[in-house]
Chains A and B, each alone.
Chain A
Amino acid sequence: DTEVTQTPKHLVMGMTNKKSLKCEQHMGHRAMYWYKQKAKKPPELMFVYSYEKLSINESVPSRFSPECPNSSLLNLHLHALQPEDSALYLCASSQDRGPGGTEAFFGQGTRLTVV
């Protein structure tokens, strides 16, 4: 199983809503990532979890709150978002973050629209 599964695929939310994005992998990977991708732009790193601990927060606004309940799951909690937060949110996982780098597998993404 080389799949990273994200739910939901599409999400429309109002600026006062609270919602969560979910990501799951069963490859035994110990590093998990959230990326944000705007149209015609590369993925932009938001958060990295390594062995279920937050290791990188790329100065993301607090209206985005990540959570890693266990080694297979990664959530992104959303609250009081702005229309400019509309984007494709990609989850990825890799074996670990040790020296040398390893292949990162991406989920299909959640297309988020904030209205």
Chain B
Amino acid sequence: GENVEQHPSTLSVQEGDSAVIKCTYSDSASNYFPWYKQELGKRPQLIIDIRSNVGEKKDQRIAVTLNKTAKHFSLHITETQPEDSAVYFCAAIPDTGRRALTFGSGTRLQVQP
């Protein structure tokens, strides 16, 4: 089955700096890669996603890049703000077999004002 690894586990940045979180996946059949943000005590919420036919996607301060050959994808947050502080999870879904979200272990992002 799919295995998703995520780094770093914690990340502390100054407000206004950029943050990068990286994930690798194992199943070459995976074709959908969402990123979820989970604030303390709340539900995971989708912030951006990318499909395997696209190399990069951007939405305001958030961007995701995908390297399907190397089986890794990354989340980039620019001009970070204190409200970006949360746990971020990457995930992958394969097109065959177990077609459900497999999550990475999570990154706790702390943006210092």
Which residues of A does B touch, CB under 8 Å?
33, 40-45, 48, 56, 90, 92, 97, 99-109
Contacts and interface: CB of A to CB of B under 8 A. Distances in A.
Interface string B38-62: 0000111110010100000000000
B51 A90 contact: no
B93 A101 contact: yes
A42 B103 contact: yes
A42 B89 contact: yes
Interface residues of B, number: 23
A contacts with B: majority SS: loop
Contacts of A102: 32
A62 B101 CA distance: 22
A76 to B, nearest CB: 16
Given A103-B34, A103-B49, A108 B43 contact: yes
A104 B35 CA distance: 11
For the complex of A and B, the 7 pairs showing the least CB-CB separation, nearest first, are: A101-B32, A42-B103, A101-B93, A106-B43, A99-B95, A97-B99, A108-B43
